[in-house]
Chain A
Amino acid sequence: MTVAASILFLTYAVIITEKFNKAIIALLGASLMIFTGILSQERAVEGVDFNTIGLLTGMMIIVAISQKTGMFQYLAIKSVKLVKGEPWWILVMLALITAVTSAFLDNVTTVLLIVPITLLITDELKINPYPFLFMQIFASNIGGTATLIGDPPNIMIGSAAKLTFMDFVINVAPIIPIIIIATIIPIKFIFGKQMVVEERLKQGIMKFDEREAIKDVRLLKKSLMVLGIVITGFVFQHQLHLEPATIAMSGAAILLLISGENLNYILEKIEWATIFFFVGLFIVVAGVEETGLIKLAAERMMAMTGGDMMVTAFVITWLSAVMSAFIDNIPFVATMIPMIKGMGEIAGSQEAIKPLWWALSLGACLGGNGSIIGASANVIVAGIADRSGAPIKFLDYMKLAFPLMLWSILISWVYIYLRYF
């Protein structure tokens, strides 16, 4: 048990230093679990959640193909022209697009698509891009929380706890618009005064032609069709008796077939580092689980909270939020999942612990907003901004982001409390 705990601790500690690619460290940790005899090879493979892997890979393929159509650029420019180039409303529109896109695609892809366009727009308006980028980081993490496929923690939770796409839509999504609005309002007070530009510059934006952004109308139609089928599949997942991974992978296969895209080229676009990170991590956690350590932790936590679900949910919400602000929420959630499952076994009912899953989802996903290293989307935005000569400083970001994150967690907690207790 101590050996397993040490491997887990060591793996996480090295991941936190960010000295090496986290996928390599997770795979090394996984190897250690097998070498030390804690896990047999068969148990290690069983520990890998192939639903998470399949869903991630399938969605990555669909996104790699559909982003070539230029539909996101089209949406962004169309919306910017809709608000007549008015900077504050551009910020709001781009935030909404980011949130909605993030709910269905992964956050990193979303910001990779939206941030360059945003910088182009703020360049053209000769205005500071910071408030726009700040809001987009928040919007991508908040939007991603809304659905099963929006953020990796939700994918993992959904798969492990057998929660469907609609479970997330019914239980998590309703609070998301409120959190978005509750974030935009303080942003308006803080940055609203900066949002003035000359009429001439607005006219420059109005000259943008969104129709030019659509490169391939036939590919666009095919992508939209497959995306539509896949999302419909998710909605009726329960009735279809299909796992999300099956739906996403089938969609990916269909799109590969009808789009005629080069398979090797598209496969190169998959973030294999992320996929292997998951594989390694699942095995590490499986090793710790095997030794009974996680069950023990679950028992301890239940003893501490006196088995009171409300207190447990409270602890999980806030703990996940603060932890996820500084460490990768994926390993955190990977460890919490068997622990919460263990609590379900102790409580004797998986139904009773359902609020705990929502607490974990909201806490871990929204917590990522708290610092510039809190979520991968944040790091990507900071990277692009840095190279464009508009760096986002760690403390500058945190000064505003951490309180705003706590504010969103407070709203989430009130929601969980009122709805489930």
Chain B
Amino acid sequence: MYVKNIMTKLSDLTVVYPDTVIKEAVNTMLSKGLTELPVVDKQNSFLGEISMRDIIGEALPSYVTNGNLKDVSFAPGLFKFDDKLTDMMSKEVKSAMKKSIRTVTPEMSAFEVSTLLAVSEDRDEIIYAVEKDGKLAGAVSIASIFSKLVK
């Protein structure tokens, strides 16, 4: 079995563009029950991903995200975070998308992609399959392994 056999094909994926407004992307995620979406250009070349996690990360102060302040349980809220999160919603996807992320090729074995999803250090919920010419081919999620591989 290969990635191309178990992946959700591009035609069944919802994609966003770098100039999509974040609010719109988030609404799509909410309606589809997803927490991230692939970002492509008009020719469907893969550019990166936008995730709810990264949007929150952008809104958080850097001394929290890079671990200088490990514990914030004493602070019930931070005005700046609320403001910035609201602010983020009106920005475009490119301001919070992650560009250099790990991708796989459709020819990779399903076994290898399982190890990437479950064992490797930066665990992904979803890994994108990208053709050699850079075009997005599909996506493999933990769920794909169960629905397609284990039957």
Chain A, interface residues (CB within 8 Å), range: 20 to 34
> Given that A116-B63, A384-B63 are contacting pairs, would A73 and B77 also be in contact in the complex, using a CB cutoff of 8 Å?
no
Stretch at the interface among B64-72, B87-95, B127-135: B64-72
Chain B residues lying within 8 Å of A124, measured Cβ to Cβ, are 75, 78-80
CA distance A124 to B80 in the complex (A): 6
Encode contact with A along B15-33: 1 for CB under 8 Å, 0 otherwise. Answer: 0000000000000000000
CA distance A112 to B67 in the complex (A): 11
> Given that A120-B69, A124-B80, A126-B80 are contacting pairs, would A212 and B63 also be in contact in the complex, using a CB cutoff of 8 Å?
no
Min C-beta distance of B124 to chain A, whole Å:
25
Chain A residues lying within 8 Å of B72, measured Cβ to Cβ, are 120
CA distance A349 to B105 in the complex (A): 78
In chain A, positions 68-113 with a C-beta closer than 8 Å to chain B are 70, 73-74, 77, 112
Closest to B83 in A: A126
CA distance A259 to B113 in the complex (A): 42
Chain B residues lying within 8 Å of A387, measured Cβ to Cβ, are 62-63, 66
Min C-beta distance of B31 to chain A, whole Å:
33
Q: Does B100 contact A (CB under 8 A)?
A: no
Encode contact with A along B49-66: 1 for CB under 8 Å, 0 otherwise. Answer: 000000000000111101
Q: Does A220 contact B (CB under 8 A)?
A: no
Are A73 and B74 in contact (CB-based, < 8 A)? Answer: yes
Are A116 and B74 in contact (CB-based, < 8 A)? Answer: no
Question: Which of A120, A213, A388 counts the most B-chain CB atoms under 10 A from its CB?
Answer: A120
CA distance A115 to B61 in the complex (A): 13
Min C-beta distance of A136 to chain B, whole Å:
14
| Contact residues of B: prevailing secondary structure | loop
Closest to B68 in A: A116
CA distance A210 to B80 in the complex (A): 20
Chain B residues lying within 8 Å of A74, measured Cβ to Cβ, are 74
Q: Does A209 contact B (CB under 8 A)?
A: yes
Of B73, B74, B76, B80, which one neighbours A123 at CB under 8 angstroms?
A: B80
CA distance A243 to B68 in the complex (A): 34
Are A116 and B69 in contact (CB-based, < 8 A)? Answer: yes
| Contact residues of A: prevailing secondary structure | helix
Chain B residues lying within 8 Å of A116, measured Cβ to Cβ, are 63-64, 68-69
Are B71 and A120 in contact (CB-based, < 8 A)? Answer: no
Chain B residues lying within 8 Å of A209, measured Cβ to Cβ, are 74, 76
Q: Does A260 contact B (CB under 8 A)?
A: no
Of B61, B71, B77, B80, which one neighbours A207 at CB under 8 angstroms?
A: B77
CA distance A139 to B49 in the complex (A): 44
Q: Does A224 contact B (CB under 8 A)?
A: no
Are B74 and A119 in contact (CB-based, < 8 A)? Answer: no
Are A123 and B71 in contact (CB-based, < 8 A)? Answer: no
Q: Does A269 contact B (CB under 8 A)?
A: no
Of B66, B68, B75, B77, which one neighbours A115 at CB under 8 angstroms?
A: B68
Of A112, A120, A207, A213, which one neighbours B73 at CB under 8 angstroms?
A: A213
CA distance A112 to B78 in the complex (A): 20
Chain A residues lying within 8 Å of B76, measured Cβ to Cβ, are 207-209
Closest to B75 in A: A208
> Given that A215-B71, A387-B66 are contacting pairs, would A119 and B77 also be in contact in the complex, using a CB cutoff of 8 Å?
no
Min C-beta distance of B121 to chain A, whole Å:
17
Min C-beta distance of B10 to chain A, whole Å:
37
CA distance A201 to B72 in the complex (A): 18
Min C-beta distance of A300 to chain B, whole Å:
47
Chain A residues lying within 8 Å of B74, measured Cβ to Cβ, are 73-74, 77, 208-213
Min C-beta distance of B148 to chain A, whole Å:
41
Q: Does A204 contact B (CB under 8 A)?
A: yes
Are B62 and A120 in contact (CB-based, < 8 A)? Answer: no
In chain B, positions 78-125 with a C-beta closer than 8 Å to chain A are 78-80
> Given that A116-B69, A208-B74, A215-B71 are contacting pairs, would A388 and B61 also be in contact in the complex, using a CB cutoff of 8 Å?
yes
Chain A residues lying within 8 Å of B61, measured Cβ to Cβ, are 119-120, 123, 388
Chain A residues lying within 8 Å of B69, measured Cβ to Cβ, are 116-117, 119-120
In chain A, positions 287-334 with a C-beta closer than 8 Å to chain B are none
9 cross-chain pairs, A with B, having the tightest CB-CB distances, nearest first: A116-B69, A116-B63, A116-B68, A212-B74, A212-B73, A123-B80, A213-B74, A387-B62, A388-B62
Given contacts A209-B74, A384-B68, 7 further A-B contacts (CB under 8 A): A70-B71, A120-B61, A120-B63, A124-B79, A204-B79, A207-B76, A213-B71
